[in-house]
Amino acid sequence: MDRNTKLAISGAAIARREQKRQEKGASGGKTKKGTLMRAIFGIFPLLVIPVALYNLLAIGFGGSVEMANEFGEIVRADSAPILSLLNDRFIGLPMISGVDWILTKGDAILLLAVVFLFLEILKSTSTGTSTIINHAVSMILFIVCLIQFLLLPNFATSTFFILMSMTLLDVLAGVVVTIVSARRDFGVGEM
């Protein structure tokens, strides 16, 4: 091979390598699997996790609304049977003041829900199709929570009411933030 042929071959190899690097840079080095996971993460409302956790506790460990008293009569409980479980100690830490700070299981579920609500509001700043689907699924989640709150005895607790309110706030805040972001992105001015 002469020198010009070698230079042409090495130049073509360098051009192919540069083209691959640019293609990788344009896609951010993402694979199809990464893009799929990102789409699922964008569609999936994170508040499903604390709601599902509450459902597992309410259905699995909630107890019955009706029980027999000391005379063998069937008595209906005045409050949700899951309240004793929700008020159980989850974590306790001694404080400098001399008392113990106690986090109950219900409080832990709400704390988890607050973190996920924050992440959901951050996710709603995008204006893609997955964000719109996320808002629709979040609305379905709120409707399911509302039905459970109204109809099922183990869901008539203040913990679940606050959790249900967070799902409503997720829908409302998500829609408002998406509208404001879209208005800013598309440059729609006020008239």
pTM score of the predicted model = 0.71
Average pLDDT, the chain: 80
Output 40 or 69, whichever has higher pLDDT: 40
Q: What is the pLDDT of residues 64-93, one digit of tens each?
A: 666 666 666 666 667 778 888 899 999 999
Q: What is the pLDDT of residues 176-190, one digit of tens each?
A: 887 887 777 666 555
With respect to residue 179, please indicate whether it lies within any of the assigned structural domains.
yes
Residues counted in the chain: 191
Q: What is the mean pLDDT of residues 47-72?
A: 81
Confidence of residue 149 (pLDDT cuts 50, 70, 90): very high
With respect to residue 84, please indicate whether it lies within any of the assigned structural domains.
yes
Closest listed residue to residue 47, CA positions, set 181, 127, 140, 128: 140
Q: How many CB atoms lie within 10 A of CB 58?
A: 22
pLDDT confidence of residue 7: 47
DSSP classification of residue 92: E
With respect to residue 1, please indicate whether it lies within any of the assigned structural domains.
no
With respect to residue 119, please indicate whether it lies within any of the assigned structural domains.
yes
Instruction: Please list, in sequence order, all residues whose beta carbon lies within 8 angstroms of the beta carbon of residue 155, skipping any fewer than 6 positions away.
Output: 54, 58, 80, 145, 148, 149
With respect to residue 14, please indicate whether it lies within any of the assigned structural domains.
no
With respect to residue 102, please indicate whether it lies within any of the assigned structural domains.
yes
With respect to residue 78, please indicate whether it lies within any of the assigned structural domains.
yes
- Is residue 175 exposed (0-12), middle (13-18) or buried (19+ Cβ within 10 Å)? middle
Count how many domains the chain has: 1
Confidence of residue 106 (pLDDT cuts 50, 70, 90): very high
- H helical segments located in 29-157: 32-43, 48-61, 83-86, 105-123, 129-151
The residue range of the domain holding 111 is 43-186
With respect to residue 60, please indicate whether it lies within any of the assigned structural domains.
yes
